[in-house]
């Protein structure tokens, strides 16, 4: 079984972290948002967390791009959602599109975009990844955001 990296050290950085989360599959996405927010409060208490909710997973990338282009660009953006695969290819198409869009935004704006729009087979997998303690993707997204904020800050400090 793969394991996530160790939790990063707390940071005293100031700024904003945005969470863009789907309203679809609310039981699971709400848990992702709650876990990510709690982890950010613990690891980065001086950061402001802005939560923006969108109707579904497909709408996440356009809001992520808008935030990346905003005058007050966040230090990181977490994209949170749950797509449960059905009997057609629709879920796979949506997931591929989201992945490509989020990566393009992060690279083009040199901004950490943490992709935790989960594509799962069923509600049991969603529950394990959003409601459990061992494999909680909300917590992992927040930890990745804090780690990447520090990485990006270290790159800026070496340019001086």
**Is residue 90 among the annotated active site residues?**
yes
pTM of the model: 0.93
Query: Residue 57, Cβ neighbours under 10 Å: how many?
Result: 26
Flag whether 106 is in a domain: yes
Flag whether 112 is in a domain: yes
Is residue 148 predicted with pLDDT exceeding 70?
yes
Contact yes or no for 17/64 (Cβ under 8 A) = no
Query: Residue 116, Cβ neighbours under 10 Å: how many?
Result: 25
Flag whether 6 is in a domain: no
- pLDDT attached to residue 29: 97
How confident is the model over 119-141, as pLDDT tens digits? 999 999 999 999 978 889 999 99
Which residue is catalytic, options 90, 108, 110, 155? 90
Is residue 160 predicted with pLDDT exceeding 60?
no
How confident is the model over 30-74, as pLDDT tens digits? 999 999 999 999 999 999 999 999 999 999 999 999 999 999 999
CA pair distance 139, 41, nearest whole angstrom: 11
- pLDDT attached to residue 133: 81
* CATH number of the domain that residue 138 is part of: 3.40.50.960
Boundaries of domain holding 87: 15-159
Flag whether 55 is in a domain: yes
Q: What is the DSSP letter of 57?
A: G
């Amino acid at each position: 079984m793969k394991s996530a990296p160790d939790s990063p050290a707390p940071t005293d950085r100031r700024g904003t972290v945005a969470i863009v989360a789907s309203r679809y599959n609310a039981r699971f996405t709400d848990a992702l948002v709650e876990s990510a927010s709690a982890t950010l409060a613990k690891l980065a208490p001086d950061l402001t967390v802005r939560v923006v909710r969108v109707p579904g997973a497909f709408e996440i990338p356009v809001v992520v791009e808008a935030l990346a282009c905003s005058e007050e660009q966040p230090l990181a953006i977490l994209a949170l959602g749950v797509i449960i695969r059905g009997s057609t290819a629709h879920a796979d198409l949506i997931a591929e599109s989201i992945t490509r869009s989020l990566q393009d935004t992060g690279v083009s704006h040199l901004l950490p975009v943490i992709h935790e729009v989960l594509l799962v087979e069923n509600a049991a997998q969603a529950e394990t990844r959003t409601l459990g303690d061992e494999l909680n993707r909300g917590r992992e997204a927040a930890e990745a955001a804090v780690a990447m904020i520090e990485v990006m800050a270290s790159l800026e400090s070496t340019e001086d």
